[in-house]
Amino acid sequence: MALNSNKDYLEKVELLNRYARAYYVDDAPLVPDYEYDRLYLELETYEQAHPDEVVPYSPTLRVGGAALKEFASVEHKVPLLSIGDIFNNDELVDFDKRMSEAAKVSLVEYCAEPKLDGLAVSLIYKNGLLVQASTRGDGHFGEDITENAKTIKAIPLNLEGEHVPSYLDVRGEVFMPRDGFEKWNERARLTGGKVFANPRNAAAGSLKQLDSKVTAKRPLTFNAYYVGECEGYTLPNNQYDRLLELKKLGLPVNPLIKKVYGVKSLDEFYKDILAKRPSLNYDIDGVVLKVNDLNLQDALGFTAKSPRWAVAYKFPPEEMLTRLLDVEFQVGRTGAITPVARLDPVYVGGATVSNATLHNADEIERLGVRIGDMVIVRRAGDVIPQIAGVALDRRSNDTREIVFPEVCPECGSKIERVPGEAVARCTGELVCPAQIREAILHFVSREAMDIEGFGDRIVEELVSSKMVKAVSDLYTLNETDLALLILDKGSQSKAPRLLGHVIAKKLVDAIEHSKKAPLNRFIYALGIREVGVSTARTLATHFKTFDDLMQADFNALTNLPDIGEVVANHIRDFFLEKHNLEIIKKLLSAKDSIEQGCGIVLESLKQVRDMTASQLPLLNNTYVITGTLDSMDRNTCKNRLVALGAKVSGSVSKKTTALICGDDPGSKFTKAQSLNIKIIYEGELLTWLEDLEKSQQNG
């Protein structure tokens, strides 16, 4: 029925919020989904006709607002600290002993809770309305994610009850349930969307979207677990009853929390939750044990990083038995041969695992594993699949030995293992398709020659069609040949398609643009073992020309900072290989020369320093990276900064331009604050880097 008045409208808002609470907080739905959807449509229709009457706690406001350019920094009035970890019963006994001595009682009362594997947040309510949400950050400063939090249906936009706190800071965990995670990934695979590695990554990535409309589409939920501060409202003086009070206010609380007494009960709770773990609809990685009495909490206080009155008792890495079906050998960019176990698929640590690395021949020998064995699969840190052992008592008579190949599975070249090294390598180098493929992807990457547009599929087809047999062949490609390149030939989900002239022209233009390159980028692009972005810059700074570097002897190399004997030997070996020299000659020779080369012109670092600010916008700036970044690893961040002209240091000083700050930063953050150094949080980092990189390309 249509809503005819503001009174009808407010009643419908209250009704829908009550239904939402019953569904998300009480886990006791009052109406079918279709009935909720019908009432929601009535509410939405009324609000469209009467926009001035929309209240800030209407459920229609959860769709997300305008996209942000960056996340603002938020200071936590009460620090949002992490909790210290314990891993065994002895440490549990020690923790309980300390608490008993502090409380001067034999049995301490605890509030025991599952440790949810998501993202910690702080929610601020003023007079019952949600006004701010922020991430943990470093515990003292986080990022403002208010608009994203409002899209999560389990987080109430307004608290329930006639009497609510005038101010409430409630802490909790945003996470993605397993069923929502599986449905999201299934849909993403069908539509070509983003597939997440695990629910925690999915929650973190979803909550840190600059566009809250994106967050609104993700199946996130929330559980409250602590009160940071409360005013204008009397809360119970213990942790367990406070959580029950939060539930009365409409905030969801995990149903498995329990009040327990003494170390025996703590251990029983731990074992009970560990047994329930596989059947839960959300990921947990342990239990959190808190002294229940708040007066005792206050007396025990905090260390610099965590409360003394609480610990997280972590579960061991989740392990499962499955059968090793076969072992395949993969070839990496440097020729490293890696044995990969093909497994009978098994659900471990929140994900289905069908492959696991066996690292090298030494690891295979150490494990004593054979094809056909029942093996113990562990996701180390609940992320990386690995074979932890073999169930020898279940070994059958038809298992067979894992034989390390003598020749490369990609090119047939001999495989060698240098004495003292665990890794075996293909000697084919630039004639090996796997190494060529990876070498090209490395050569065109942003930190190397920065030839935009060459993704995995294009490079794969160029190599398999033999249009490109070495990195120098990239410079022989023309628009016509590229336009006729066929992609996705083996794909089941997409029909084969031509690359086309538009994309082909962009690729040819990008190749041409790369012919003027800084010396350090060219050195890095060659893919010399152990020579990363920083080492390439060191070499380019010392050796003014590429010829100088090629002629450098062992002593000249080892005299440079950060270059030891191993790296020096890799550099010398690279330049002693005839086929490497042939490729380099082709790359650097002019097109009108006898060699008919590529004509790449190298700029010394002196020339690089003389570039305009738009070409190297971060030149003479020094950055330090701390904490965990969700959007990229720290090495990628470092490489992007260096490519923009910056220096990346491992320590904060007065010369530091700014600190790049991820989650859970360490002492570098405190030092940067004490020196009044600018802090760049991850929310603004991505936009900032992208803007600088665009200006660099246009320059």
Burial class of 335 by CB neighbour count within 10 A (0 to 12, 13 to 18, 19+): buried
Our CA dihedral for 474, 478, 484, 487, rounded to 10 degrees, sits at 20
Q: Which amino acid is it at 569?
A: N
Burial class of 467 by CB neighbour count within 10 A (0 to 12, 13 to 18, 19+): middle
Tell me whether residue 314 is one of the annotated catalytic residues.
Answer: no
HSE (side-chain half, CA atoms, 13 Å) at 8: 12
* Tokens 């342990």 belong to residue: 286
Contact 527, 442 (CB under 8 A): yes
CA angle 31, 33, 36 (to 5 degrees): 70
Kindly give the pairing relationship between strand 258-261 and strand 497-498.
Answer: unpaired
Question: What six digits make up the tokens of 535?
Answer: 């080492």
Contact 669, 626 (CB under 8 A): yes
Active-site residue among 97, 104, 115, 671? 115
Question: What six digits make up the tokens of 143?
Answer: 């990022």
Query: Mapping DSSP to helix (H, G, I), strand (E, B) and coil, where does residue 504 land?
Result: helix
Q: Using CA atoms, how far apart are residues 119 and 223, in angstroms rounded to an integer?
A: 11
Instruction: Residue 475: count other Cβ atoms within 10 Å of its Cβ.
Output: 20
Residues paired with 450 in a beta bridge: none
CA angle 443, 444, 450 (to 5 degrees): 120
* Tokens 């739905």 belong to residue: 29
Contact 154, 173 (CB under 8 A): no
Residue 423 DSSP code: -
- Nearest CA to 513 out of 453, 431, 556 is that of 453
CA angle 502, 188, 224 (to 5 degrees): 135
Please give the full DSSP string across 43-69, using - where no structure is assigned.
Answer: HHHHHHH-GGG--TT-GGGGG--SPPS
* Tokens 């922020």 belong to residue: 134
Residues paired with 355 in a beta bridge: 342
Residues sharing a CB contact under 8 Å with residue 558, sequence separation 6 or more, in sequence order: 564, 565, 568
Query: Mapping DSSP to helix (H, G, I), strand (E, B) and coil, where does residue 414 land?
Result: strand
Catalytic residues: 115
